Amino acid sequence: MRYEEFIKQTVEEFVNGGVVSSDAFPDMELYMDQAVMFINKHLNAYKKEAKDQVMTKTMVSNYAKHHLIPRPKNKRYTKDHLILLTLIFYLKGTFQMEEIQTLMEPLIENYNSEFDEKFDFHRIYDNILNLYEQEQKNLLTEVTEDINRIKKNLDDNELADDDTTELFMLIANLSMKANAQKFLAQKLMNEYFNKDKSRK
């Protein structure tokens, strides 16, 4: 299979299974096994091998222990828990656990507060997805444009135009874009969450 076809197939798989729809979260409470099964089913696109799990019971227990999610009541996990677990999964690609803990701290404090007006996690998540939806739609177009630019660059500079060179340049380009976005996310985190924490 040509790498262009592989990219198209992979992007389609990601668009169809890389994001948990906000409508997918059940209104009923789930036990740990069911919660883990839900996350693994809906984030299936991220598995490297069919037998892999993107989330385990041990991970969920650790998240609760370190206050990344609220402690479950009567060993049951609500829709809010599932939304936060999903967000933690996405954040793990950019941040370390301690950083995610700092980021989640205001949300968990609000969840546990008897006085503050409660955050609506479902609406927050829904709005995050609305912002991200256009990125998903543009992904294949942007990668295809990158490939075309790479081919033209190689041709203009009379460099060897083979799959290995093209793929190396594409992978490096995708990695640099991801690093730029990761850099910005980390700078925002350090400026507005870590500094606030140190002031306390």
Supply the pLDDT for residue 20: 92
The answer to whether position 2 is within a domain reads no
The answer to whether position 5 is within a domain reads no
The answer to whether position 132 is within a domain reads yes
The answer to whether position 1 is within a domain reads no
Supply the pLDDT for residue 135: 84
Supply the pLDDT for residue 12: 87
Supply the pLDDT for residue 177: 94
Cα 136 off chain centre by: 12
Supply the pLDDT for residue 198: 54
- β-partners of residue 31 are 76
Q: What is the mean pLDDT of each run of 10 residues along the chain (200 residues)?
A: 89 85 94 96 88 94 94 94 96 93 92 88 93 86 93 86 88 95 93 69
Question: 164 lies in which domain range?
Answer: 10-199
From residue 144, alpha-carbon distances to 7, 14, 18, 42 in Å are: 9, 16, 19, 27
The answer to whether position 119 is within a domain reads yes
Rounded Cα gap, residues 169 and 171, in angstroms: 6
The answer to whether position 3 is within a domain reads no
The answer to whether position 33 is within a domain reads yes
Token digits of residue 57: 């019971």
Supply the pLDDT for residue 159: 79
69-119: pLDDT as tens digits: 999 999 999 999 999 999 999 999 999 999 999 999 999 999 988 888 889
The answer to whether position 4 is within a domain reads no
Count of the separate structural domains present in the chain: 1
Query: In the chain, which ranges are continuous DSSP H helix?
Result: 3-17, 32-42, 57-65, 79-91, 97-112, 121-156, 163-189, 195-199
Supply the pLDDT for residue 197: 58
